Structure 1
Amino acid sequence: MNGLKRYSSNLFYSAGFLLAALLAGCGGGDQGRDPILGLPAADLTSVAVTPATSSVAIGNTQQLVATATFADGSTRDITAVSVWTSAAPGIATVNGMTGLATGVASGTAAMTASFRSKTGSANVTVLPPALVSIALTPVNPTVNIGASLQLVVTGTYSDKTTADLTNVSTYVSASPAIASVNSTTGMSKGLSGGSAVITASYATQSATTIITVPAAPVTPPATLSSITVTPANASILVGATQAYTATATYSDNSTVNITQSAIWASGNTAVASVNSTGLATGVSAGATMISATSGTKSGSANLIVTVPVNPPASGINLGTATTFGVLAGTSITNNAGGTTLVTGDVGSPSQTTDPVQAAGFTNYKSGAVLTNALADLQTAITDANSRTCDVNSAAGIDLGGLTLTPGVYCYAGAISITGTFTMSGPGLYLFRSSSTLNTTANSIVALTNGATYDSVFWVPVGATTLGANSVFKGTIMGKAAAITLGDGASLLNGRVLTGAAATLRNNKITK
């Protein structure tokens, strides 16, 4: 019996030591450890961002690195746990979670990494677009003996724009006895039967095409004689669109619709832009030429853009919903793995994880304050939908690249934003859509020349989705449709207000 007692006692003490060791390994004694890095705590002395200065072309990226230095002399890479911001997102944006900067427009922007109570910064200078590649056309053509063919070089830059580089490129033929090429103009000529590789070079880029010269003459195809753009004359309001058609006429009098393959351009992009399918959008008051080009031929049409005739309407009264940064009638889904900061009141009867709020604001989950705010939101939406449209389009619109003045803009289709959209001048900006509101990743909404975020209202009938790391401004009001903010999207000057559900993920919202 005594042996059994001694055995039981030893077993008890062994189990106690094992339990203590397990508790220590699982963090039972983790006081004094860094809660983010999981390392012994030491006073944070500074945060540095590297490279301190860097340059990127428009459309290219630069990875920034944040390093923390502690009082004991140790350093840690804190890039992934810092909060990144750009002082000038119109020049360069930065992913708020990873520190990846992207060039937007020429200039210099300060990038800041914040960790605990310390910050560090670096300057990113955005240079003009860099040449990414060149293309040599036509691709693998056939040229009869004695016939000539003009080769064309098109350059593509880091911001996705293109340029004709034909007259600044150099050319060489690998078989000049079969097909020759002028070294500076790109004019080639068939000399004898066979194939010749022609190489065009510009800067550090090169491209090739193979010219085949038949031993016997080949009946030449019909050549392009002219291009006609219709309608020849058109007038639209700022923010409205006009579809153009390009028709090619050939040497045999045949015609072909080349709207989808032509290269479209606006003579004055400050007045109107035009996309790759010939759809022009009014940007500001004035006149411009819309042209379509194929090969060496082009045609054009006149476009006049006018401003809305109605004066700017008065603002939208949000009532008691004014104090809310986020308000949802059914639920708020907030990611638990990151941090969403709201500078304003928060309200919804169901919340998965309460967003972090700045000091002085309240989270309402029931009661009269929440009920009245949701009712005032619906009243404000009714007011917004009753306003007379200055621009009324039967289609949707991509506002990216546009600059609009105050007014009420109504679209039957979806409103989207790709790139940067600018509002210029004081007054009410009201955007209504019978469909959805969507922005792409890294898109930017900018305010200039006295435009203020509290006079900007977005009222889509359908759902709203803001792209990851996008920068949005203004108050989004959803009557009965959900609002979703992508990872890292920010409304540093705006509100998320809906009678339905709101989904948040690592966002910064300031009413």
Structure 2
Amino acid sequence: MNRIKWMLRGMLALVIALTVVVPTSVWAASGDVTSIEITGANPQKMNVGEITSYQVMATVEGSDHKQDVTEGVTWSTSNATVATITKGKVKAIAAGEATIVAQVDTVKTQVVVQVQDKIKSIKASPTAYTFVKGNEGTLPKVSITRANGKQEDVTSDIVWTVSSNLAVIENGKIKGVTPGKVVLQGKYGSTIVKVPITVMDTITKVEVKPATIQLNIKKSTALKVMGTYSSGKTVNLSKSVIWTSSNPGLAEVKNGMVKGLNEGQATLTGSYQGQTVTAVVTVVPTLQKLIMGQKSLVLSPQSSSTLGVMAQYDTGKTTMVTGSAVWSSSKPNVATVTNGRIVAVAKGKTSITAKWGNKKVTIPVTVK
């Protein structure tokens, strides 16, 4: 009996001894915690409604490496109306500032959390890109508007990514790599802005039709421009070509439409991807009517008379077109006409007509 009691006492002593040497925490096995730090903080900026998680790393006496002690931290906040902390998760409640304190044993550290009003909208400029493959551009500028109406430039705080390898981000610039469509995405905290990008193939040839144009004043016509890619595929570039006019006061081009402004001639030069095309436009006034030298004519047989015909334009300008008009007689057996010279043949009545452009004029002729 005494032997059993001695055995039980020995086992109890062993249990007590084991209990004493087992560490009370994961970091106590190596020694005391000498310092702790909250990673990714100093200070923290958050928007109302956002939640973020903190990690606490400790320097432990006798250890060469910092240890994650997040699970054993005691947390507190200086202002729960601004930010709360639960198990390492901080939630932004209202605009303001709060100090978050982390404590392990007797060691403390803290971080100041600055909470700002919610972001109402985010805007990138430019809102879209079009690149020729191999070309690049500067990343967009980004601004936000908060719920209180305040605007902020957050360009330097944006984290950019692309939706595919059709484009890449290099040295603060966005570059088109392969023809297609890709989305450039910017992230500011949990707020995202998206910018569509079109990467185009290289154009090897550009053609314009018509290359020679005649227009009336204040009238317009479309310039059709076709491009040929390096792959052989064609594309309509009519509204993409940038045009300049040798005489902007005479003819101008907007959105692929050329408009005549004043009488004269101008050369239009279009450019796209380094390719150029030219078109010559002649602007003429609009012909309103033809005016004959006389309203009627009476001749005797075998006599003659010469008539002149004048073109009148919408600008008020007039010009003689007698020699270039097309003349005719309704009854050549009564009177004939050549270049405005009328010869009476026999008694009767006829009509003499002069045509020029899209107009004509007629007078009655009587031979008696």
Give the TM-score normalised by the residue count of structure 2: 0.35
Higher helix proportion (structure 1 or 2): 1
Give the TM-score normalised by the residue count of structure 1: 0.26
> Could you say which structure has the larger radius of gyration?
2
Higher strand proportion (structure 1 or 2): 2
